[in-house]
Structure 1
Amino acid sequence: GKCAEACQFGALSVFDTGVMVFESLCHGCGLCTFVCPEKAITERPKVIGKVKTGRIDQKIDFGMGILEIGEPSPVRVIRKLKENIDRNKVVIIDSPPGTSCSVVETLRKVDFAILVTEPTPFGLHDLKLAVKIVREMEIPFGVVVNRDTGSYTMIDEYASEETIVVLERIPFDRSIAEAYSEGKLFTETSPSWKIRFKELAEKIFSSSGVS
């Protein structure tokens, strides 16, 4: 029963009639194999997801991680995907929202974090949690306010109190919504935004020291 006692994730249960393994809870750390005095446990490979890479055009490479249905944790898929990063290039990693393990793994070893929020009480709540994470990980960061209407000021008040830089504001605009509902980049339909995003990138490079 030492294997079940050592497992922090509850992936093993030992009964008088035998041992049950809950594969969905197993994190593959190997501790159960290490502590078993009878050497009764053997490990085997298991597919938990896929990593796909390709090229969008001559300038942009693309990678994505796909988690198998029913698997609880995408951390290892994200970690494997990040092994394909060319650190001599500018790389943008899109993170899931929230403060889960997958977010922390996405943030690990990045040069700069862009925290995208919306001007609502829920957006402010999630922003505060995200700010706490990037500060604990000592990652330079800035905020982009999406769907900004100009009527909710709590984001700006919080940013001012915490000395947080608001890098850009994307307005709550029907033309932008129509563009992405058709699968288009709104920089294609509004060329002025292409210039603004270029300026945003330059702000990030100058503040993070990344060239």
Structure 2
Amino acid sequence: MIISVASGKGGTGKTTIAVNLALALAKDEEKNVQFLDCDVEEPNAHLFLKPVITSSESVEIPVPKIDDKKCNYCGKCAEVCVFNAIAVTKNRVLVFPGLCHGCGACMLFCPEKAITEEGNEIGVLEEGKAGSINFTHGRLNIGEPMAPPVIRKIKKKIKKDYSDNRDNNITNHHITLIDAPPGTSCPVIESIKDSNYTLLVTEPTPFG
């Protein structure tokens, strides 16, 4: 079972709820609890759970690399890039990695086969244990604009037993808790996608 904890804004106590729910469930020795901190722009669940980190891996997205010897500056790559991550001048191709979503369209449509892909590191993923809780969180590198690729890599760590959507019963022995980012933007949608339940934490103010 997958339970996401989300909020419409920061400061509502979302992480406090998520952490304490994980600790409460972990008291049951029959339950296997997994905690994913998907608030990759400002992860802080580790401050409360104090996990022992045992592994770390980088998160990359593929970005175009131009072979100047093959490129004829036709501009087809810039034409097909809906994210404006490529600009073509008379004798130069400019690539903006921060805008690239790694879709590969530029490489696919290049008539001269002058484009290959290389990895661009945008963050890091860390795993460990907080008592009996399996802990995973990600950190988006400073200045990087796209959190969803890091979140997707975190969610790949969900074990099959934890994501069995056929069983929505809270007595399920395998439970994944996701601390989602605040707000309602793309990182939130990516975090709560495929969850069995989403718990929304609000506060008694006009902004919730």
Calculate the TM-score normalised by the size of structure 2.
0.57
Name the structure where strand makes up a greater proportion of residues. 2
Aligned to 2:83, the other structure's residue is in SS state coil
1:18-39 deviation digits (Å, cap 9, x = unpaired): 1111111011110100011111
1:69: which partner in 2? 142
Whole-angstrom CA distance in 2 between matches of 1:74 and 1:68 = 9
Whole-angstrom CA distance in 1 between matches of 2:114 and 2:160 = 42
Q: Provide runs of 4+ in structure 1 moved above 6 Å.
A: none
Do structure 1's residue 115 and structure 2's residue 189 form an aligned pair? no
1:55: which partner in 2? 129
Whole-angstrom CA distance in 2 between matches of 1:52 and 1:67 = 12
Deviation at 1:87, TM superposition (A): 4.2
Aligned to 1:96, the other structure's residue is in SS state strand
Whole-angstrom CA distance in 1 between matches of 2:109 and 2:137 = 36
Aligned to 2:154, the other structure's residue is in SS state helix
Structure 1: runs of 5 or more not aligned: 124-211
Say whether the 8 Å CA contact 2:97–2:120 is kept in structure 1. no
Do structure 1's residue 40 and structure 2's residue 114 form an aligned pair? yes
Deviation at 1:48, TM superposition (A): 1.1
Structure 2: runs of 5 or more not aligned: 1-74, 162-173
Calculate the TM-score normalised by the size of structure 1.
0.56
1:97: which partner in 2? 182
Give the stretch that moved more between structures: 109-118 or 81-90.
Answer: 81-90
1:18: which partner in 2? 92
* Count of aligned pairs between the two proteins: 122
How much is the aligned-residue C-alpha RMSD, in angstroms? 1.0
By relative contact order (CA 8 Å, sep 6+), the higher-ranking structure is 2
1:149-198 deviation digits (Å, cap 9, x = unpaired): xxxxxxxxxxxxxxxxxxxxxxxxxxxxxxxxxxxxxxxxxxxxxxxxxx
User: Aligned letter for 1:7?
Assistant: C
* Bigger radius of gyration among the two: 1
